Amino acid sequence: MEPIGIDPYLTLTLIFGFIAKEIVIGSLAVIYSMNEQGVSNYITETVTFIQGYSFCIFCLLYTPCLSTLATLVKEAKSWKFSLLSLVFPLALAWVSSLIFYQGALALGF
Protein backbone atom coordinates (compact mmCIF):
# COMPACT_ATOMS: atom_id res chain seq x y z
CA MET A 1 0.00 0.00 0.00
CA GLU A 2 3.06 2.23 0.09
CA PRO A 3 2.67 3.37 -3.57
CA ILE A 4 -0.67 4.92 -2.70
CA GLY A 5 0.57 6.53 0.54
CA ILE A 6 -1.20 4.29 3.03
CA ASP A 7 0.90 3.10 5.97
CA PRO A 8 0.58 -0.41 7.48
CA TYR A 9 -1.68 0.71 10.36
CA LEU A 10 -4.13 2.39 8.01
CA THR A 11 -4.00 -0.72 5.82
CA LEU A 12 -5.07 -2.78 8.81
CA THR A 13 -8.09 -0.51 9.31
CA LEU A 14 -9.10 -1.25 5.72
CA ILE A 15 -9.09 -4.97 6.53
CA PHE A 16 -11.46 -4.26 9.42
CA GLY A 17 -13.48 -2.19 6.96
CA PHE A 18 -14.02 -5.28 4.84
CA ILE A 19 -15.92 -6.75 7.77
CA ALA A 20 -17.99 -3.57 8.23
CA LYS A 21 -17.23 -0.23 6.57
CA GLU A 22 -18.44 1.81 9.53
CA ILE A 23 -15.67 0.53 11.82
CA VAL A 24 -12.74 1.81 9.73
CA ILE A 25 -12.31 4.98 11.77
CA GLY A 26 -13.29 3.36 15.07
CA SER A 27 -10.65 0.67 14.64
CA LEU A 28 -7.90 3.31 14.60
CA ALA A 29 -8.23 3.79 18.37
CA VAL A 30 -7.74 0.07 18.94
CA ILE A 31 -4.85 -0.27 16.48
CA TYR A 32 -2.97 2.77 17.80
CA SER A 33 -3.90 1.96 21.44
CA MET A 34 -5.02 5.53 22.05
CA ASN A 35 -8.21 7.37 22.84
CA GLU A 36 -10.00 9.30 20.11
CA GLN A 37 -8.19 12.56 20.84
CA GLY A 38 -4.81 10.82 20.84
CA VAL A 39 -5.53 9.13 17.52
CA SER A 40 -6.68 12.42 16.04
CA ASN A 41 -3.46 14.14 17.13
CA TYR A 42 -1.28 11.27 15.93
CA ILE A 43 -2.95 11.11 12.51
CA THR A 44 -2.62 14.88 12.15
CA GLU A 45 1.10 14.68 12.88
CA THR A 46 1.96 11.63 10.77
CA VAL A 47 -0.39 11.57 7.78
CA THR A 48 -0.11 14.27 5.13
CA PHE A 49 -3.11 15.76 3.37
CA ILE A 50 -2.27 13.82 0.21
CA GLN A 51 -2.00 10.53 2.11
CA GLY A 52 -5.27 11.18 3.91
CA TYR A 53 -7.06 12.02 0.69
CA SER A 54 -5.63 8.91 -0.99
CA PHE A 55 -6.87 6.85 1.98
CA CYS A 56 -10.33 8.40 1.63
CA ILE A 57 -10.44 7.64 -2.11
CA PHE A 58 -9.40 4.04 -1.48
CA CYS A 59 -11.86 3.61 1.39
CA LEU A 60 -14.70 5.03 -0.67
CA LEU A 61 -14.12 2.75 -3.65
CA TYR A 62 -12.74 -0.54 -2.37
CA THR A 63 -14.63 -3.81 -1.96
CA PRO A 64 -18.06 -3.95 -0.40
CA CYS A 65 -18.30 -5.17 3.18
CA LEU A 66 -18.64 -8.83 4.02
CA SER A 67 -22.42 -8.75 4.56
CA THR A 68 -22.94 -7.07 1.17
CA LEU A 69 -20.74 -9.67 -0.48
CA ALA A 70 -22.70 -12.48 1.20
CA THR A 71 -25.92 -10.95 -0.08
CA LEU A 72 -24.46 -10.73 -3.59
CA VAL A 73 -23.51 -14.41 -3.51
CA LYS A 74 -26.98 -15.37 -2.30
CA GLU A 75 -28.93 -13.15 -4.71
CA ALA A 76 -26.78 -13.49 -7.84
CA LYS A 77 -26.20 -17.22 -7.41
CA SER A 78 -22.98 -16.74 -9.34
CA TRP A 79 -19.49 -17.01 -7.90
CA LYS A 80 -18.07 -15.31 -10.99
CA PHE A 81 -20.21 -12.23 -10.50
CA SER A 82 -19.48 -12.21 -6.78
CA LEU A 83 -15.76 -12.47 -7.40
CA LEU A 84 -15.98 -9.66 -9.94
CA SER A 85 -17.87 -7.59 -7.34
CA LEU A 86 -14.96 -8.15 -4.98
CA VAL A 87 -12.02 -7.68 -7.36
CA PHE A 88 -13.19 -4.84 -9.62
CA PRO A 89 -13.85 -2.25 -6.87
CA LEU A 90 -10.56 -3.19 -5.22
CA ALA A 91 -8.66 -2.66 -8.48
CA LEU A 92 -10.56 0.58 -9.15
CA ALA A 93 -9.75 1.87 -5.67
CA TRP A 94 -6.08 0.96 -6.05
CA VAL A 95 -5.71 2.60 -9.46
CA SER A 96 -7.66 5.71 -8.46
CA SER A 97 -5.62 6.20 -5.29
CA LEU A 98 -2.39 5.50 -7.15
CA ILE A 99 -3.17 8.07 -9.86
CA PHE A 100 -4.14 10.66 -7.27
CA TYR A 101 -1.24 10.06 -4.88
CA GLN A 102 1.53 9.72 -7.45
CA GLY A 103 0.09 12.60 -9.48
CA ALA A 104 -0.01 14.86 -6.43
CA LEU A 105 3.57 13.93 -5.54
CA ALA A 106 4.70 14.57 -9.13
CA LEU A 107 3.06 18.00 -9.07
CA GLY A 108 4.84 18.79 -5.80
CA PHE A 109 1.90 18.99 -3.41
- pLDDT profile of the chain (109 residues), mean per 10: 90 88 84 85 91 93 87 88 91 97 93
In whole angstroms, give the CA distance from residue 55 to residue 43: 12
* pTM of the predicted structure, to 2 decimals: 0.85
List, in sequence order, the alpha helices (H) in the chain.
8-19, 26-32, 36-46, 49-61, 66-76, 79-106
